[in-house]
Structure 1
C-alpha cells in the first residue's frame, strides 16, 4: 500500500478548491471531491482553528475562522491538511477503509510482537493499527507532558519512546493509526485521588472484579485528564482517537457523586464525548468509541450510560464490540453466539443501523480473534474470524478491527 503521508501531499487525494473570499475576514470557500469518483463529497468536515463546517450536497463550503491551514476529512476517507492560499489548489480526499489489528500497552513496546504485527500487515489486507495510549491498567504508554499523568504514577512504565516518531514511521508504511485511550477504568487515578474514586455504600473505595478502582464518570477532572491525553495524541499525528471504557461500570454496587439514573449516566458519557469532540476540532482527527455489543439491541443505556442515539450525535465512528463470546444471552434466533459468528456481527450491525438511521460507513466493529470464554472455550481461528470479517464487509462498515489480548494475528486474513 502506498505511503499515506505522501499521498496526502499529492493532487490524487482530495479536490479542495480554495478561494479566499476575503483575506482580511479570513473567509475561505472551496469544494471537496472524492478521488475515485470525482463527485462532490457531501457532509465532509472542514476545520479552520476552532471553527468547523460541513460541505453541502455539491461538496462546497464557506468557512470563517483563524488558523494557518484547513483540515478536511470525511467518513470513509483519509484526512488531509490544506494550506491557506489565494490560488486554486486541487487536492483529493481518497476513500480509505481501515482493516486493523490491535497492539496493547506492552505489545507496542515489545520488539518481537511489534515486528510480528508489522509482518502481518505487510503480508495481508491489514492497513491500520490500534495502539494503546492509555491501557486497561491506567498506564500511559508514551511520555506525556500532562503533570497529572506523572503525579498519579501512570508514567512509571512507558513503552513508546517517541510517539510522534512512531506515528511518522507507521504513516510511512501506509498505515491508518488509531490511538486507544481507556477512560473511566483508571486504577492509578482513582488510587492516587480517592476523592475522585467511586465508593461503596459504606464509603470505602469500590473495586471491580479485577480489584481495580474506577474514578467517577461525572468528574470533569477525570474528563479533562483523558481529553488532554487525546489532544497530545492528536498533536502527535494520530488519525483517530478511540475511547474505550467510556462507560459506567457494569455493576449496581458503586456510589456516584450524582444519582445513578439513566438520564444522568447518558448525560455524563455524552457530555464527556461532546467535550472531547470540541477540544479536538483544531486537529482534524476522527473520534470513535468502543461500545458494548448489546447497545446495538437495547433501547435503554444498558445501565452503563451508552445509548445509541446519543452516541451517534457525538462520534464519527461507533465501534461496537461484537465478540460472540460477549453475547452471553444470545440474540433473537441465536442462543449460542459462538456457533454463529457471522450472524452475530451482521445482525447486530443491521439492528444498530435500523435503530439509528446512520449510514453503514459510520460503524466499524471490533471482531473476536481470541478464545471463547463464555460458552465452550473454542478457539476463534481462520473460519470464525473470516466469517466475522465477511459479515462486516457485507454490511459495508468502515472496515473492522481484530482484538487479540496477546497481540497474535494472522488467522482469517487475506493475503495482499
Structure 2
C-alpha cells in the first residue's frame, strides 16, 4: 500500500492511507472472526540454513519464469468459514480465477496452520483456529488451481514481544533511545530485518510451507517500517536497509526454488520512485524474486500522481500509468509484475466496474496477472470473467 512519492504534496495523505489500510485489514479480520457467513554496500550477515529436515526435491525451478496468476486473498480464518471460502473455490471451478492466496503468517504474527517449527511453538505463534495446510492445498489443487502462501515477514508482534521479553532486544527495530520502535503499528510490531534469527525464522516457515505443497511464497511487509529513518535503529545492520532486504530475498529465492516453489514480494507503489522510503529497491529485488507484486490501489495515490487528477475516481488510468513505471524498473531482471488491485472501498465506493477497470488496465500495461485484496475476503465475482 503506498504512494508514488513521499516527498510530494500527498505525504500526509499517503501516511493516512497506510494507517487506514492497516486498520481496515484488522477490522476485516475481526469481521471474519465473527461472521456467520490487508505488504554495493555490504549485505547483512548470511542467514543459517532452514531448520527443516525435509529433503529438497530433485527438480528445480531455478530458471523458470513465473507463469502468472489470477488470484484472490484469503485470511487463514476465512479459509475455515464456508461462507467466505466457498465463493472463492467456486470462482476456481468457474475458471474466473486460477489461484488462491492464503495467509501463512499474517500481520498479527500468528501462523495460520499448525507449524512444526520449534521457534513458532516456543513463542506461541500458532493461531487457535489453525487450518490444515496440506488439506487446503490439496483441495485447491483438485480443482485445478494453485495456492500462494502469503507470509508477512518483518511485521511480527508475536516474535517481537517474545524477543523483547526474553532479552533478545536486538531482534527488534529500535528507537535511538533503545526502546522498541512502534508508531501506529504497536510496541513490538517490527522485527529487525538484519537479525539472523529473524531472517531464519521466516525462511524456515517459507520452506515448511513449500514442503506442504504451496506453489509460491509471497512475502509481505518485506521492508523497514515507514517513517523517518533517523528515528530507527537496526542492531547489527551493515550497509543499507535496502541491501539487507534484497539479500534476504536473494537467499529466500534460491532456497525456495531448490524446493520447487517460486517467490514473490509485495511492495509499496511508491517504492518504484522512492526505494529508501521503506527499503524496497525494485530493480535489485527484481533480480532475485520471481515476481514483484506492487500495491497500486487507486485509493492510495495522491491527487495528481502520474498526472491523474483524482486517482480514486480513475482506477484504470492510475493503475496503467503506475504499472508502466514498474515495468521499466524490472526490465532486465528475472521477475514479472503481478499487481495487487483494489476490491474494497476507501474514500469511494468500489464495485465490479471499478475492479474490472483495474484488471483491464493491468492487461493493457502488458500484465495479465493480478491479485485482488479485500481485508474481509468478500469479492465482486461479477468483475471476473472465465478464461
- TM bucket (normalised to shorter chain) is 0.7 to 0.9
Measured in 1, the distance between the counterparts of 2:176 and 2:56 equals 50
**3-state SS of 1:71 partner:** coil
Bigger relative contact order (CA 8 A; separation at least 6): 2
**Offset of 1:185 from its aligned partner?**
0.3
* Gap change, CA 1:339 and 1:287, over 3 Å in 2: same
Q: Who is 1:281 aligned against?
A: 257
Greater C-alpha Rg: 1
Is the counterpart of residue 114 in structure 1 residue 103 in structure 2? no
Structure 1 residues 329-338 or 170-179, which shifts more? 329-338
**Offset of 1:255 from its aligned partner?**
2.4
* Gap change, CA 1:255 and 1:151, over 3 Å in 2: same
Which of the residues 205, 208, 213 maps onto 1:232? 208
* Preserved CA contact (<8 Å) 1:361 1:396: no
Which of the residues 289, 313, 316 maps onto 1:339? 313
Superposed, 1:348-363 pairs within 5 Å as 348-358=322-332, 362-363=336-337
Runs of 4+ in structure 1 over 6 Å off: none
**Offset of 1:318 from its aligned partner?**
0.7
* Preserved CA contact (<8 Å) 2:330 2:336: no
Task: Specify which structure has the higher proportion of strand.
Answer: 1
Cα deviation digits, residues 24-55 of structure 1 (max 9, x gap): xxxxxxxxxxxxxxxxxxxxxxxxxx9xxxxx
Is the counterpart of residue 327 in structure 1 residue 301 in structure 2? yes
Is the counterpart of residue 386 in structure 1 residue 364 in structure 2? no
* TM norm structure 2: 0.78
Q: Who is 1:201 aligned against?
A: 176
- Coordinate RMSD, CA, aligned: 2.3
Which 5+ residue runs of structure 1 have no aligned equivalent? 1-49, 51-65, 78-96
Cα deviation digits, residues 182-207 of structure 1 (max 9, x gap): 00100000100011122223322222
* Preserved CA contact (<8 Å) 1:360 1:396: no
Which 5+ residue runs of structure 2 have no aligned equivalent? 1-48, 50-54
* Gap change, CA 1:315 and 1:329, over 3 Å in 2: farther
* Preserved CA contact (<8 Å) 2:113 2:127: no
Cα deviation digits, residues 98-118 of structure 1 (max 9, x gap): 111110132122232111221
Measured in 1, the distance between the counterparts of 2:223 and 2:66 equals 26
Q: Who is 2:115 aligned against?
A: 144
**Offset of 1:332 from its aligned partner?**
2.5
* TM norm structure 1: 0.73
**Offset of 1:68 from its aligned partner?**
6.7
Measured in 2, the distance between the counterparts of 1:193 and 1:361 equals 34
Which of the residues 396, 399, 405 maps onto 2:369? 399
Task: Specify which structure has the higher proportion of helix.
Answer: 2
* Preserved CA contact (<8 Å) 2:57 2:258: no
**3-state SS of 1:193 partner:** helix
Cα deviation digits, residues 286-342 of structure 1 (max 9, x gap): 11000101123x1x4142110111111111101111101122354231142101111
* Preserved CA contact (<8 Å) 1:146 1:229: yes
Q: Who is 2:28 aligned against?
A: none
Measured in 2, the distance between the counterparts of 1:276 and 1:76 equals 16
**Offset of 1:352 from its aligned partner?**
1.6
Q: Who is 1:133 aligned against?
A: 104
Which of the residues 215, 223, 235 maps onto 1:257? 235
* Preserved CA contact (<8 Å) 2:290 2:334: no
* Preserved CA contact (<8 Å) 2:59 2:258: no
**Offset of 1:216 from its aligned partner?**
0.8
Q: Who is 1:169 aligned against?
A: 139
